[in-house]
Structure 1
């Protein structure tokens, strides 16, 4: 019974201390230090062994400039307790009294105590950090690790060096930590990403590269190949990253997944030459059918992107040779879908494409594989403007795979098809549902299309301009880009000054880019910026035009000015973070 009463009493006391502490902390944060002092003194007297209360009481005295009271308290505690972190506090109190000589004496004494008992390394260094005495904190952490190699304070050192702006030592210490804790590698990459840029000549990039190369020379561990590859990828030096990835693969030839990921990254940046080299390497080194099929598919896709009309027939032959080699069954279904897409959208043979994919549906497929085939069949029927048949396939996907990402994609295609048909009200109702899609990409596309419809549907009861625009959008989908451009010209002539104008200009600009009419694209983007600076596409026009200047037209100064405009005038833009990153890189900042 006594034990139960004791436990209840202790719980009651703990609850009371917690409430008092919260109240004192609140007073302290609000600058009501006299009120905070009364409560902290009460807490300290009740529990003198709690260092948190000692430090809070001392700090409150210091805020009230009661340095002598703080000094008396600290001297009493230093004489009674073997905790060198109190020496740091006492030294700092002398520093506040402008007695720098005495402050340094106590700082030195605290550091010396580490030699007697390295277990206090962290607490002493932490007190130095609390008072921004970073050089002393570095000294303590280093001494602690020197005296007891089992202690690891590389992360703490890295963060301090970051505060000091010594980025090279930040890299060194994070990498030292990674060397002891390889599982920290991904965290290290995230930390480093704040300090490097795409510019390989950036001071921080050069520094990290130099450190990694030294590490590799001293110890050719997989970690350093991995980190060096990651750095080259950030710099978009995919050929150099490929060298590191090949070295990693030779040390561990079980999987080509890392090299495949690199190829897809390079492909996404339209670096076709190095992408082809990487996929060819995968074909040379893989016996896995799925991996080989993926490589073949991407190689054919790249070849298609860069081919003229005369070369398309040769690409078709390559597809057919692959089917002869690997067959047509569930394992080659992705290649079959790619071939159906090629027939419809590149060779403009939609009937042949539909027939081919309907044969694919007769194979033993999973529900998901069947859905992907039907999704492409629906697209091909839209290409043929057989909208009602396309809607049947999309609806089947929604019924068979409810709430899945592919089902949401099918719902978006239902909305888009209805929009192509001119059934704008039904399309808008479907898009409202998709605004909360679990797929951010689908949600964004749905919102964009909904805004397009809602912005233009009320202005003209006959929807003449919107019907022309949706027809141009369909032509672009059908890969009839020049026809789409011409139809958009008609909109711009006949509906000048209407709500649809900036949308038409923007779509046309993107089509000009696709057809390499870059100067015309520039003109459109500039018109939007000059005349629609407060509209929804203004930030898009700034970003796309900046990207053109930076990556196509070799006019980095113009790009820099546009990125700066996004930073200062469009803070809510989805392009804000990327614009800031590119602006700093073009300005030549040493990122830190």
Structure 2
């Protein structure tokens, strides 16, 4: 019997709550559509059922104010506070009601009364502050939050205060409050990063970046903690200052050896952004300090990738030294796969690479490792123009890992291989799916190749040069750069004035750069601008030329000229922030 009564009470309670929720939604809809009289009737019912629900009461008062029924609003509020004098937050609503009537002195009187009451009833501090914030009385909201914190040391409203400072544009104060909040709420580190990220950029000279860094440095000096080093590292990574981030991560490691993984992760980020010097320092440090074989081998592999990326001498010897020291076994599995890649694309020894991969397959411990070997084996087959067999391997991985990044990578390889062999329709179908890939890198590559095919696909059976361009692209993929250049010259000559011409020139410029023929690369880029200074490749051209002058030709004046072109003529370019930063550095600004 008791159970039945309990269930009945629960059912009635749920029906009541559901009805209130529906009525509130209906009233809100009327309120948003300025149908205040209809909204008033519903809010009155809601207030009668929940007399001190501030949301309902505040909305009802707003309805009275919007319909100039100030006397009714005043009487209702006076009745409420007489009935329950302890509900001091009502003074804020009363004050605002007077302010709506332009009785500012009375309004201020009740606002002060509300804030003064917090000393005795600190629990209402948050409610009072939220009411002030809702009425856009931001300074009073801050005052209320601070009063509550002063009255009760267990209450911390720095986070809310920080957000209000952000709304006001007082970013220095906002950062101070965020950091103060984090000082005694370290579990909110990622939350603070998320909110701070809205105000900083990857430009170290951005005013907010400077303010945030100064705030952190002050706090770190007065109260050293790991969390400040973590935030400084995060800021420097955002600004692509990986060397500075490494200093912070080393400081973290000195206090907590478990933070070594952050140094390895930083190395990967630096590698992806071609800061090979910092990346190598990260991986060397990992190799020296780690007690885990897996971490050491991962760092060794990354150092080998750096050696390949920077065309270091004796790369073959470095691989052999690793195998001599650690053996050809499951521990060096990933290094064996990387070695096969090196043999194929750097040494032109694909058959030897196949042997290495077949042996590596015997050491694979799970389906992910097997899939990686299959992908690399298929890459070798593409290198050898054995497209159909390569597509079988790619398709196997794609079907086995449908919703995994490995599957998306395999799908891109299917599209790329189909493009290489001239099956543009099938390639486009795969690329269209991949443009929404969860991997940003795959999505970007897919979008770029999709545009090349879409912009240059033959129409009405008329040749467009795409087939020849795709063959040149394949030759470049195979590191047969001279053959690729000859084919591109044919495309440029035969399809002059067609969309494929600037793509061919751009690819040619990239190959000249790869061959370290920088002057020829600049000439190829210049021809693209002669065709169309406002084309979709224009900002890529200006940035790449600036980089060549800056990094390869030691001509800072010319580099500045091209960086400046992006700054002034291409404000929506993805290179804008980087170009501005490098231009200012070359100009000698203090950074």
| TM-score normalised to structure 1 length | 0.86
1:477: how far off?
Answer: 0.6
Q: Equivalent residue for 2:169?
A: 165
Q: Equivalent residue for 2:47?
A: 44
CA contact (8 A) 1:124 1:140 kept: yes
Deviation readout 1:388-411 (Å, 9 max, x if unpaired): 443343344446556543244334
Report SS of the residue matched to 1:256. Answer: helix
Higher RCO, 1 vs 2 (CA within 8 Å, ≥6 residues apart):
1
Q: Does 1:186 align with 2:193?
A: no
Deviation readout 1:53-95 (Å, 9 max, x if unpaired): 3211111111123323322222222222221211111111222
CA contact (8 A) 2:458 2:466 kept: no
Q: Equivalent residue for 1:491?
A: 491
Q: Equivalent residue for 1:554?
A: 560
Q: Equivalent residue for 2:73?
A: 70
Report SS of the residue matched to 1:254. Answer: helix
Report SS of the residue matched to 1:116. Answer: coil
Q: Does 1:287 align with 2:291?
A: yes
Deviation readout 1:228-262 (Å, 9 max, x if unpaired): 11122222222221111111111111352100111
**In structure 1, distance between residues paired with 2:52 and 2:118:** 21
Which piece of structure 1 moves more, 486-495 or 431-440? 431-440
Q: Does 1:137 align with 2:141?
A: yes
CA separation of 1:327/1:16 partners in 2, compared to 1, >3 Å: closer, same or farther?
closer
**In structure 2, distance between residues paired with 1:421 and 1:542:** 30
**In structure 1, distance between residues paired with 2:79 and 2:342:** 84
CA separation of 1:348/1:125 partners in 2, compared to 1, >3 Å: closer, same or farther?
same
Q: Equivalent residue for 2:410?
A: 410
CA separation of 1:32/1:416 partners in 2, compared to 1, >3 Å: closer, same or farther?
same
Q: Equivalent residue for 1:570?
A: none
Deviation readout 1:427-459 (Å, 9 max, x if unpaired): 455556656666554455445545544554442
Q: Does 1:60 align with 2:45?
A: no
CA contact (8 A) 1:249 1:255 kept: yes
Q: Equivalent residue for 2:587?
A: none
CA separation of 1:550/1:141 partners in 2, compared to 1, >3 Å: closer, same or farther?
farther
Q: Equivalent residue for 1:175?
A: 179
Q: Equivalent residue for 2:232?
A: 228
Q: Equivalent residue for 1:564?
A: 571
Q: Does 1:302 align with 2:306?
A: yes
Q: How many residues are aligned here?
A: 567
Deviation readout 1:359-387 (Å, 9 max, x if unpaired): 32333543221221221122122212233
CA separation of 1:550/1:378 partners in 2, compared to 1, >3 Å: closer, same or farther?
closer
1:413: how far off?
Answer: 2.2
1:151: how far off?
Answer: 0.8
Q: Equivalent residue for 2:129?
A: 125
**In structure 2, distance between residues paired with 1:402 and 1:50:** 51
- How do 1:321-340 residues align onto structure 2 when only pairs under 5 Å count? 321-340=321-340
CA contact (8 A) 2:40 2:60 kept: yes
**In structure 1, distance between residues paired with 2:26 and 2:568:** 51
**In structure 1, distance between residues paired with 2:247 and 2:529:** 41
Q: Equivalent residue for 1:355?
A: 355
CA separation of 1:180/1:563 partners in 2, compared to 1, >3 Å: closer, same or farther?
farther
Q: Equivalent residue for 2:589?
A: none
Which one of 497, 522, 526 corresponds to residue 523 of structure 1?
526
1:223: how far off?
Answer: 0.7
CA separation of 1:587/1:411 partners in 2, compared to 1, >3 Å: closer, same or farther?
closer
**In structure 2, distance between residues paired with 1:223 and 1:438:** 30
Q: Does 1:27 align with 2:30?
A: yes
Structure 2: gaps (5+ residues): 551-558, 585-591
CA separation of 1:412/1:47 partners in 2, compared to 1, >3 Å: closer, same or farther?
closer
RMSD of aligned Cα (Å): 3.1
Which one of 140, 154, 158 corresponds to residue 154 of structure 1?
158
CA separation of 1:64/1:426 partners in 2, compared to 1, >3 Å: closer, same or farther?
closer
CA separation of 1:201/1:425 partners in 2, compared to 1, >3 Å: closer, same or farther?
closer
Which piece of structure 1 moves more, 336-345 or 450-459? 450-459
CA separation of 1:247/1:7 partners in 2, compared to 1, >3 Å: closer, same or farther?
closer
CA separation of 1:527/1:264 partners in 2, compared to 1, >3 Å: closer, same or farther?
farther
CA contact (8 A) 1:564 1:583 kept: no
Which piece of structure 1 moves more, 65-74 or 319-328? 65-74
1:51: how far off?
Answer: 3.1
Deviation readout 1:91-129 (Å, 9 max, x if unpaired): 112222222211111111111111111111011111111
Q: Equivalent residue for 2:315?
A: 315
- How do 1:466-485 residues align onto structure 2 when only pairs under 5 Å count? 466-485=466-485
1:554: how far off?
Answer: 3.2
Structure 1: gaps (5+ residues): 567-574
